[in-house]
């Protein structure tokens, strides 16, 4: 973070300073275990515990300033605020304002039901070639995680890439009001978190918040292939930069588009088009659906005036989309594991199943899908799990293992779809799934693990994958 006095931080967050007006030179942390000398520690109530319980630990670790929701007895400079989360966001907004005034900061915001983290990683690989770039650790994209990413910048930062997620309408609007993105990227609108939003229409409105407040000097990077995203063009004053899989029309040309998309167990290929120019894209990342994420990242680079050929080459250096996202593991014995169990939605699971079927059919290998629950679907849960069970049959997945009560509708639908019932098994726990897989796996098998993180299949995928 920027060097700031405690009084400046208090003014930025609307709090009251108690104690000395110290100079803060360290990072901002909400986890006392990460505090180092000179840090600011935000003590905030959480879902599991209360950060105020760890103030002593933060002071012992070297915290120079504490931001808390009540006056402290400890002898440490502290700022008292009504709401720690609101204060964190206010400090992030002030830091971005100061860095913009002092340097050449460009802020890119990314939202969408799927693909945010992969696109963020792609942009990190592209932009860091042109200047100091800050992007989220893991998938920090909520009201705490996004400001924490913003607070990592300093005067030298050239690019700030932000994931912007939402649980309810208004969340993305609050994050964009903090960061004021120069470019807003919308990848896709699907049923991820539909249970929280109350339906896909509400999800669409929430994602529209990314581009709604952009000005005419900004750029909205929109997926032409998704009709809900394409409809957002009417809600923004920004210049539109389209990406997709066709050239568009004379009056609305697609900035970048892809053809010749294909994926094997060695990686994914496509041809990238800009007008009459073309570039071959070769990525080690698995899955044809990741070409759309690549197009989004490349369209940002193009809108920034960066060398597109160099950007395409940068994507070829990425070894994986992210830990637990279409991650290739080779445990030996001629078995291949694809760990895609970090998160799951109906759209991303369908894409993973299609990719598995396509890649194994090309390679002449047996496909096995180990599927767990897709969380946060609300009233759509049974219907969407049922749909994926039928899809597994239709794309001809050879073996299906379904784990957990929340995912049982996948197994039931696969049994009903055809005589496929002989090749689908439902088990209650990951341990049962592991025993089953270890008894069945043979040389040549390709095993996909796909579920929401809460299902606990990612550790199972790591174990089967030999990690």
Is 114 flagged in the annotation as binding? yes
Cβ contact 375:405 at 8 Å: no
Cβ partners under 8 Å of residue 18, min gap 6? 71, 72, 77, 78, 79, 80
45 by DSSP, 3-state: which?
strand
Does the annotation flag 167 for ligand binding?
A: no
Q: Which pair of tokens denotes residue 286?
A: 């698995």
Coil, strand or helix at 275: coil
> What DSSP string describes 154-168?
-TT--EEEEE---SS
Angle at 260 between CA 259 and CA 263, to 5 degrees: 125
Q: How many residues does the chain have?
A: 467
118 is annotated as contributing to ligand binding: yes
115 marked as binding residue: yes
Alpha carbon dihedral 245, 250, 251, 252, in 10-degree steps, equals 10
Q: What DSSP character marks residue 190? A: -
Q: Which residues contact 212 (CB under 8 A, 6 or more apart)?
A: 173, 235, 236
SS3 call for 296: helix
Q: Is 113 annotated as a binding residue?
A: yes
d(CA 40, CA 28): 5
The annotation places the binding site for ATP at 112-118
The annotation places the binding site at 112-118
């Amino acid at each position: 973070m920027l060097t700031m006095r405690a009084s400046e931080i208090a003014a930025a967050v609307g709090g009251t300073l108690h104690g000395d007006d110290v100079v803060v030179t360290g990072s901002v942390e909400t986890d006392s275990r990460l505090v180092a000398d000179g840090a600011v520690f935000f003590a905030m109530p959480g879902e599991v515990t209360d950060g105020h319980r760890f103030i002593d630990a933060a002071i012992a670790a070297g915290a120079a300033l504490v931001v808390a929701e009540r006056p402290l007895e400890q002898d440490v400079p502290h700022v008292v605020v009504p709401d720690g989360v609101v204060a964190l966001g206010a400090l992030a907004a002030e830091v971005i304002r100061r860095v913009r005034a002092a340097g050449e900061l460009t802020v890119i915001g990314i939202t969408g039901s799927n693909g945010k983290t992969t696109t963020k990683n792609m942009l990190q690989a592209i932009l860091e070639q042109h200047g100091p770039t800050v992007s989220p650790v893991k998938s920090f994209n909520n009201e705490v995680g996004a400001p924490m990413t913003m607070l990592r910048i300093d005067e030298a930062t050239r690019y700030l890439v932000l994931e912007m997620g939402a649980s309810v309408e208004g969340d993305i609007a609050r994050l964009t009001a903090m960061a004021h993105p120069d470019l807003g990227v919308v990848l896709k609108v699907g049923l991820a978190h539909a249970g929280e939003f109350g339906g896909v229409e509400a999800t669409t409105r929430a994602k529209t918040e990314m581009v709604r407040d952009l000005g005419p000097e900004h750029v909205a990077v929109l997926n032409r292939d998704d009709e809900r995203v394409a409809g957002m063009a009417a809600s923004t004053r920004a210049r539109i930069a389209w990406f997709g899989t066709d050239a568009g029309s004379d009056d609305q040309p697609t900035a970048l588009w892809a053809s010749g998309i294909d994926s094997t167990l060695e990686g994914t290929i496509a041809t990238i088009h800009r007008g009459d120019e073309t570039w071959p894209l070769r990525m080690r990342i698995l899955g044809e659906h990741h070409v759309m994420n690549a197009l989004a990242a490349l369209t940002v680079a193009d809108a920034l005036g960066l060398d597109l050929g160099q950007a395409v080459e940068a994507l070829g250096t990425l070894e994986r989309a992210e830990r637990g996202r279409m991650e290739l593991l080779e445990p030996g014995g001629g078995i291949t594991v694809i760990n895609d169990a970090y998160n799951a939605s109906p759209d991303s699971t369908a894409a993973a199943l299609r990719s598995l079927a396509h890649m194994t059919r090309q390679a002449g290998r047996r496909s096995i899908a180990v599927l767990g629950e897709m969380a946060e679907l609300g009233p759509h849960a049974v219907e969407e799990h049922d749909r994926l069970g039928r899809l597994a049959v239709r794309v001809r997945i050879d073996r299906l293992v379904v784990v957990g009560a929340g995912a049982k509708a996948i197994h039931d639908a696969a049994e009903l779809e055809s005589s496929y019932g002989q090749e689908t098994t439902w088990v209650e726990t990951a341990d049962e799934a592991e025993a089953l897989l270890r008894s069945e796996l043979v040389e040549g098998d390709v095993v996909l693990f796909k579920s929401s993180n809460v299902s606990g299949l990612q550790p199972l995928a790591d174990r089967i994958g030999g990690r």
